[in-house]
């Protein structure tokens, strides 16, 4: 999280005109909240990248665009919206791992951000890293991070290094043996071999299929459309396995999708948190198996009641935001 603002601070020019920080809707909510909280005379939040692009010719100064690919909350593959000599881009690759999306090419962007939480699930470690091409930008980013009162401890960095080494060791054995492990095997098999990417993909792919099957007959709720693609990591075509479901409440009367889901016992994140319409809401697919099973049960009941009436207020709610 600290790297988001550090990258903005490193790219913002010191020429008296604040840079416009933007991201295409729907965007990860922290882009806006972090920028607004730590805004200085060098940069300020300017909202949707598409709207900015339309007004670009009338705007003075530079832009700094966050591109999250695949995107949180909708899993879409993205590229920069705004181009030009004064357009800087921060590629947030938190979800660019084979269990979330097909790895179609090696990334080679000027500023790239990663986080341990989406590689191994160790979100509590709060550790991320950046790859920066330009040394002067890297130096400014490093200076900004070093000035923070709270930084990642060396113990956490050591733990993260060991986790990544463990993953690398498991897949190095596979490469040395020139063995291609097929997809479609039980997740327990991958777990026994330490193949974490295979395990996570199998789990998320299964969840995405179940969710689609649950909502395929729904007249109220819809999911984002994601296409299969060839993955250079798995060496085969992989189907969608997103981290989140971007739920659309279809009826015009459903102006608040978050509330509609809450009435069915499900806690989601409203679309407004992502700069979008409240006819959308985000559900997390990263919870424990028991939580996901409970989510599917709640949605199944909700779909079964569509022909009768709206869901009534539940006694208990399920947090899947």
Mean pLDDT per 10-residue interval, the chain, length 321 residues: 92 91 98 94 96 86 97 98 95 98 96 94 84 97 84 84 93 83 93 95 98 95 97 96 97 84 95 97 97 97 79 53 67
pLDDT for 314 = 47
Beta bridge partners, 20, equal 44, 63
Q: How many domains does the chain have?
A: 2
Q: Does residue 15 share a domain with residue 80?
A: yes
Q: What is the model's pLDDT at position 32?
A: 97
Instruction: Let me know whether 133 and 11 are in one domain.
Output: yes
Residues 38 and 87 in one domain: yes
Domain span including residue 43: 2-146
- 161-167 contacts, C-beta under 8 A, 24 or more apart: 163/116, 163/119, 163/120, 163/122, 164/116, 164/119, 164/120, 166/194, 167/119, 167/120, 167/194, 167/196, 167/197
Q: Are 216 and 313 in a shared domain?
A: yes
Rounded Cα distance between 68 and 244, Å, is 14
Q: Is residue 52 part of a domain?
A: yes
Quote the pLDDT of residue 156. Answer: 86
CA angle 66, 277, 308 (to 5 degrees): 140
CB burial of residue 86 (10 Å; 0-12, 13-18, 19+) = middle
The H-or-E segment that residue 5 falls in is helix 2-11
Residue 176 to residue 112: CA distance in whole angstroms: 29
What CATH number does the domain containing 206 carry? 3.90.1150.10
170 belongs to a structural domain:
no
Is pTM, for the whole model, over 0.85?
yes
The total of other beta-carbon atoms located within 10 Å of residue 100's CB is: 24
Among 197, 290, 208, which residue's Cα sits nearest to residue 246? Answer: 208
Q: What is the pLDDT of residue 1?
A: 75
37 lies in some domain: yes
Residue 105 pairs with which residues in a beta bridge?
none
What pLDDT, on a 0 to 100 scale, did the predictor assign at position 307? Answer: 64
The pLDDT assigned to 155 comes to: 85
Tokens 């399920």 belong to residue: 318
How far CA 252 is from CA of 62, 74, 223, in Å, comes to 38, 21, 16
Model pLDDT, residue 30: 96
- Given a contact cutoff of 8 angstroms between Cβ atoms, the answer to whether 26 and 278 are in contact is no
The angle formed by the CA atoms of residues 2, 24 and 123, to the nearest 5 degrees, is: 35
The answer to whether residue 36 is domain-embedded is yes
Domain end among 146, 161, 195: 146
Burial class (CB in 10 A: 0-12, 13-18, 19+), 200: buried
| 176 assigned to some structural domain | no
Domain with residue 9: its CATH number is 3.40.640.10
Per the structure block, which two tokens stand in for 205? 């792919």
């Amino acid at each position: 999280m600290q790297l988001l603002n550090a990258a903005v601070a490193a790219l913002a020019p010191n020429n008296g005109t604040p840079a416009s920080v933007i991201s295409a809707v729907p965007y990860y909510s922290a882009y806006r909240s972090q920028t607004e909280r730590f805004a200085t005379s060098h940069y300020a939040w300017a909202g949707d990248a598409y709207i900015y692009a339309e007004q670009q010719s009338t705007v003075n100064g530079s832009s700094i665009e966050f591109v999250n690919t695949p995107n949180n909350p909708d899993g879409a593959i993205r590229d920069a919206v705004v181009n030009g000599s004064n357009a800087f881009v921060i590629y947030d690759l938190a979800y660019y791992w084979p269990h979330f999306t097909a790895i179609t090419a090696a990334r080679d962007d000027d500023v790239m951000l990663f986080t341990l939480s989406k590689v191994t699930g160790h979100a509590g470690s709060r550790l991320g890293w950046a790859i920066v091409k330009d040394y002067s930008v890297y130096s400014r980013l490093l200076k900004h991070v070093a000035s923070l009162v709270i930084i990642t401890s060396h113990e956490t960095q050591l733990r993260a290094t060991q986790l990544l080494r463990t993953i690398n060791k498991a897949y190095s054995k596979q490469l040395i043996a020139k063995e291609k492990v097929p997809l479609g095997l039980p997740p327990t098999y991958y777990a026994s071999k330490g193949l974490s990417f295979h395990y996570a993909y199998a789990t998320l792919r299964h969840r995405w299929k179940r969710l689609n099957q649950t909502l395929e007959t729904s007249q109220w709720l819809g999911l984002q459309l994601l296409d299969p693609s060839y993955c250079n990591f798995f060496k085969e075509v992989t189907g969608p396995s997103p981290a989140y479901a971007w739920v659309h409440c279809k009826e015009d009367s459903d102006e608040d999708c978050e509330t509609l889901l809450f009435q069915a016992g499900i806690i989601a994140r409203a679309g407004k948190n992502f700069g979008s319409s409240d006819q959308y809401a985000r559900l997390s697919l990263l919870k424990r198996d028991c939580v996901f099973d409970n989510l599917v049960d709640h949605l199944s009941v909700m779909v079964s009641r569509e022909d009768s009436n709206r869901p009534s207020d539940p006694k208990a709610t399920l947090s899947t935001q």
